[in-house]
A and B are shown apart, each in its own frame.
Chain A
Amino acid sequence: MSHDSHHAPVACKTELAPERSDLGLYRPDRATGLIDWLTTVDHKKIGIMYGAFAMLYFLIGGVEALAIRTQLARPDNDFVTARMYNQLFTMHGTTMIFLGVMPLSAAFFNFLVPLQVGARDVAFPRLNAFSLWTFVFGAFVLNASWLFEFGHLAGWFDSFAWHKALVYTDFAPANGWFSYAPLSGTFGANGQALRFTGVGTDFWIIGIQILGIASLAASFNFICTIINMRAKGMTMMRLPVFTWMTLVTSVLIILAFPAITVALIELMFDRAFGANFFNPSAGGQPVLWQHLFWIFGHPEVYILVLPAMGIVSEVLPTFTGKSLFGYPIIVFSGAVIGFLGFAVWSHHMFTTGLGPVPTAAFSLLTMAIAVPTGVKIFNWLGTIWGGRIRFTPPMVLALGFIWMFMCGGFSGVMHSSAPADSQQQDSYFVIAHFHYVLLGGVLLGLMAGLYFWFPKIFGRMPNAPVAYLGSALVILGFNLAFGPMHYLGLAGQPRRTHTYHAGNGWETWNFVATIGAYVLGIGVVLVFGNLVWTAFRGKKCGNDPWDGRTLEWSLPSPVPEYNFAQAPVVATRDAFFEHKHGAKKIGLENDGGEAGVHMPSQSWMPMLASAGFLFIGFGMPMMAMGIPHAGWLVISGLGVLFLGIWLWALEGPGGYMLKTPAPSGAPAPAETVAH
């Protein structure tokens, strides 16, 4: 293949000569503006898009949460109907987990992993674009169900004959984020496939399926990148902890998602083709759904939290001026958490009657998983201990993470005891627990990451006073909203119930929780709004504003397309910090820098392939609704997917050479930015 030799190196890709791919089509390599973003294979741009979509869905999920809290502010409230309430809490959970936290983590994976391992891109740039667009279309399919619900509320569908047949209870998903069978499944013998819930469940099934494909493709890519594309000298035990946690998270994703994929396929066969996997009338076992869901669902909790732990492990050493205390133990604990994460799923199912032996075993393993988590917390405390702490916005958020996550951990250990859990099951106590983990833990961690790396991503510094104010409101509002729920749960308030009567002693704390939720909402808007403002208008800052420790800080901000003009050679952990303050300098590999850096070509094909999922995503629910000929939409979607992959394979990898500003022999990138 001589595709990369017929190009002379160019300083900017717009100077490229028009080039046809192996298929004879023009490559979008020279594109700028919108087309550039749509066809990009640059991991940094893909990361930014992941982040932007994640913030959008955080806001949508937040609005859903505020609607829930408004409904619960007073007893016997009728702000929303019970039907709407079910859809709100289902879509709130699904949105926050699959469209908020996971893509925001993916944004960090994309942006940081190649920079931290010293690579110029991920292992499969086009596959990376495919992951992004598949996520975008999957998220769209899932949320499009709201449009049907709103259309129904507006009465648009009343005149259609098929309307009466297609919905029983909902248009948007309304089963909870776990969609337990048999509520989400079918009943009736011999393939009647009578359903408890409406088309929302079908949207949920296909939407999660598509999002799963996006996560799987991205994870294969990141594992490959981390294992295979490390710079010279970057041994596994010199990897930054964030990269390590990305690796563990990706391994969890590739091993946990198949379980939910199969469960979703089975549920889809039940609903669309009258199969009997979870149909109690035909002997199907709804508890099997719970097992399959939580075999995925529990590792998923660690998929959500490990990236945030990785971020905190980067932020704390930077702002204490110390290296991470017990690096090998932190890495090992992360791996142990990932491993044990597969062995605790049944603690979500203590009340299903597993029998004494499994219950005891899962209790024990759940308690055991607190050990590596505690080890991590003590290591973070050890990192802070004796350090010169700088209370920058990311540091404040990271310290908030440790504190809040620990509270969530404590109530988690309480759940591990089966007798206690059977009292707490399905009460607000559980809601308090996992919001302390997911919001106090994960969201604060991710926000810390955003404030930490934003100067690297955009070369601009977020406004500090607004950041402090936003962080304070988030932490205050969050505790006000979820602290009282511990009490409400123990006082017996059940989850997923659209209202409650006065006189149970729940009124005061529900009202306080609602106020807290609004304070939290204002805080989140400030925190995110500040970032959006920063991206466009923030004050420009240097390449290394925090005195960073890892390789990404050695690069200019914003990072050039090719990342490293010359590949770095690493001699130690915290390579850039050592380079600035220690004896071990970052070397530069003589990899033909003057000839330019080989860049992968941009392509429409990943997006085309992903677009197939859009057809499938709308076709499957319509098929389940019984709309005639909807099956052809699914088949055409598969056709588009196949066509996209086929053209993708045939167009050839392409690529061009980009000149770097520092020809070989010139000063090292590190030296150009050192203070």
Chain B
Amino acid sequence: MANTMQFDLVSPERSLASLEATAVQLPGADGDMTAMPDHAPTITTLRPGLLKVEAPAGASEYLVTGGFAQINGDGLSVLAEKAIPVAEVTRSHLDDLIAEARASHEVAKAGDDQSIVDDAAKLLADMEALGTHMSL
């Protein structure tokens, strides 16, 4: 069994990472999941959260704001709308994200679809929890 798999993290504007990884933890829409080599082929959407990459060269973390991941036998590609290495994330980044989440929550509340309101509220809570988690 292979010990590593090809991991690619791309955003629409540029490719952020392309390396051999041993395990990648993803913030999947249905809950966090960890992909290791020879994972069953899966496609999942992502919710905003942290993406943790473990590689022989060292671990790294990225903040992703939605997108999706495609896992196949020999590799994993994450297509994120926006991805920032955690070391470069600042409070203002997070404030932008929270403001965005709050705005969409307000918009959702004006509508009558309860599930959208719940989703938006959850997104907002996720964002705030993320800030605490990263101690910003």
- Asked if A pairs with B, the answer is no
Q: Which A residues contact B (CB, under 8 angstroms)? A: none
